[in-house]
Amino acid sequence: MRQYILAIVVGLFLVAWQSAWPSWATLGGCRPDLAIALVVCVGMLRGPTAGAWLGLIVALLVSSLQAPPVGGAGGAPLGGLMVSHIAVGTGAWLLRANLLADRPSVAMLITLVAVPAANFIELLFVPPPEVRVWLLSTLIAAPYTALLAAPIYLLLQPLLREPSQPLTA
C-alpha cells in the first residue's frame, strides 16, 4: 500500500511540475510529458494493473491542472487522457516483459514510443487545429520526455520495485 501512495504523491508532484515547466527549459516551445514518463516507470516497476490505475489518476490530475478556463477552448481532454494513460501504464509492463530488461534505458525506449502513442490517442478525442504543429511538438516532446524518464526511473526503482519472492522447494 505504501508504494501506491508514494506513486500518487510523486504523480502529483510531477504533474504540477509539468504544468509549471519554465519557458526557458522548453525545446522549441515544447515541454516534456512527465506524466507519461511516470506512468511508464510505474508500469514497468509495479505491473500492468498498477500502471493502469496510476495512469487513470495521473490523467485526472493532468486534466484538472491543464483544464481550459470557463468558456475557453483547448486544455487537456479527459477522455483522451484517461484512455492514453491507462494504455501506456498497461503497455509499459508488456513491453518490459517482452524485452526482458529492467533498466533505465528500457524506460527511455518505452517512453520514446509511449509519448507519440499517447498523443495519437488524444488526437482521436480532440483533433488539433493544425496537424503539422501537433506532429512537430510530438516529435520534439518524445525524445525530451525519454531523456527525463531515466532519472524518474532511477528515483522510483528502489521505492517501487516488487519485493523478491523467496525460493520455495
Domain count, the chain: 1
Q: Report the pLDDT value the prediction gives residue 139, as an integer from 0 to 100.
A: 93
Percent of the chain clearing pLDDT 70 (strictly above): 86
Q: Which residue has the cell 508514494?
A: 6
For 96-149, what is each residue's pLDDT tens digit? 777 667 788 999 999 999 999 998 988 888 888 888 988 999 999 999 999 999
- Domain range for 96: 2-8+38-65+75-159
Question: Does 28 reside within a domain?
Answer: no
Confirm if 51 and 37 have CB atoms less than 8 A apart. Answer: no
Rounded mean pLDDT of 33-56?
A: 90
- Over the chain, what HEC string results? CHHHHHHHHHHHHHHHHHHCCCHHHCECCECCCHHHHHHHHHHHHHCHHHHHHHHHHHHHHHHHHCCCCCCCCCCCCHHHHHHHHHHHHHHHHHHHHHHCCCCHHHHHHHHHHHHHHHHHHHHHHCCCCCHHHHHHHHHHHHHHHHHHHHHHHHHHHHHHCCCCCCCCC
Question: Does 148 reside within a domain?
Answer: yes
Highest averaged pLDDT of the listed ranges 8-22, 84-98, 137-151 = 137-151
Q: Report the pLDDT value the prediction gives residue 76, as an integer from 0 to 100.
A: 56
Question: Does 27 reside within a domain?
Answer: no
pLDDT at 82 over 70: yes
Question: Does 169 reside within a domain?
Answer: no
Confirm if 101 and 23 have CB atoms less than 8 A apart. Answer: no
The whole model's pTM is what? 0.84
Percent of the chain clearing pLDDT 90 (strictly above): 28
Rounded mean pLDDT of 39-60?
A: 89
Question: Does 128 reside within a domain?
Answer: yes
pLDDT at 167 over 50: no
Question: Does 152 reside within a domain?
Answer: yes
For 35-44, what is each residue's pLDDT tens digit? 999 999 998 8
